[in-house]
Amino acid sequence: MYDVAIIGAGIIGTSIARALSRYQLSVIVFEKENDVSMGATKANSAIVHGGFAESHAKVKGGLCYKGRKQFDQLNEELHFGFDKIGSLVLAFEDDQLAKLKELYENGLANGLDDLEIIDHDQIMAMEPNVNPDVKYALYCKGAGVCSPYEMAIALAENAVENGVEPALNTEIIDIVKTPDGFELTDHNQKKYAAHYVINAGGVCSDTIARMVGIDNFTITPRSGEYLLMVRGSANIINNVLFQMPTKMGKGILVTPTFYGNLLIGPDAVNEDIADKSTHSERLLKIFNEAKHTTDKLNIKQFIRSYTGIRAVSSTDDFIIEATPVNGFINCAGIQSPGLTSSPAIAELVLKLLKELNCPFEEDPNYNPYRKPIITLTELKPLKEIQPLIDIASSPEKIICRCEQVDEATIIDAMNRGIPVTTVDGIKRRTRAGCGWCQGTFCRPRVVEVMERELGHEIDSSFDVEHSGVNRVGKNEIVDYINAHQD
């Protein structure tokens, strides 16, 4: 019998797992996909939000800034990539100043101490490539960007090192309350027992809750499409640039990623099912709306489109609660700013577990540190790495020339306690395949290393071709946008 079973290995499930791993508890994390961070965690805006946009009256309003304040220490311990670059909410009309002031006051109510409203000249000094029609902006100095899937991977690796058991490719299809806890059944009819269950199932969290008779909320998938530009394209801006938020979200943003790509999006469309495909018409609209922020966008720098699915609850808030079913805790409806709030959500879940009499005895062997797989470095000129591209297998052999990932890095990523069985799993950990050619060159080379490590053949196209997702490609979107320019 496990002390705690966590369902879902996104940023919330892995944050909770890592927080629990400092105690002498037996913990298992179930994930129906083949890797951690496979849902909203791998496809979002990668923003560490300031904490001013969420109402002070809501749960997420109280957790965002609490979570944001922990990112410096978490990154020092886990090395997933975090940079406090600041954010600006841009106002282009005089009558938007009142809304900026509302956001400012709400931020103060949420505890922020690094907010100010700045004028046109101050904005242009900070962001010379912003639309010169801008009149005001809300500046948050401590907002930033991170690599969200690397963060979840780092949390999971550290949790596993400290004794947490990962159960990938394991979908929980039934949960039965027992006198001393719960019996969970997976899709292979294997059964597990746990004293406590934490539901961190993302878009499936309402389905999981109904397994124990909790049906007081529903989850609606809300899709948001993005355009990602080549590494180095973000040098036109310095901060995360928001337009004024709407009831559907924080509006179209233009932002650097942690690695210097320019990211544009998302839109917001409520869906009946979680469709992760991308569409030329939606991407065109996003691109044109983003040009209102800056006219320096270059669609020829495009390398990839993707769709993130947000789990929107019928309560329009985070649902973090100890339910009437004793020992069953919901972490549902965790849309934006879920990434930023995740450390604080984990703290709240541990508090709920303590109130349910879960025993917490610190593990004297707990190690909070995790070595990085990769670090942010400038890419070398191709002529410097060329001699290492076609050499025989060796640690320094360059496998991915776009992102300059060597063989030793790939092997390291495969030996950290979490099974890595797909090329895309390597991509998320090492950036092999994240560059200009999007894996055209390195995918077969990655496969060669993986098969040697695993001792068996792998399907190199599994995540890409078998997912059922249709993404708009590079040539298609460049041609489409050039043909439909405003």
Write out the catalytic residue numbers: 49
Which among 320, 328, 322, 321 has a CA at the least distance from the CA of 182? 328
399 near 412, Cβ under 8 Å? Answer: no
CA distance 272 to 471: 19
Read off the tokens for 367: 């190690």
**What is the C-alpha to C-alpha distance for residues 313 and 205, in angstroms, rounded to an integer?**
10
Give the separation between CA 122 and CA 135, rounded to whole angstroms. 10
Angle at 30 between CA 67 and CA 470, to 5 degrees: 85
Question: What is the C-alpha to C-alpha distance for residues 282 and 275, in angstroms, rounded to an integer?
Answer: 14
Query: In this structure, are residues 6 and 167 in contact, taking their beta carbons and an 8 Å threshold?
Result: no
Separation CA 434–CA 424 (nearest Å): 10
HEC secondary structure over 446-482: HHHHHHHHHCCCCCCCHHHHCCCCCCCCHHHHHHHHH
Answer for the pair 245, 138: CB distance below 8 angstroms, yes or no: no
* CA angle centred on 320, ends 315 and 326, rounded to 5°: 115
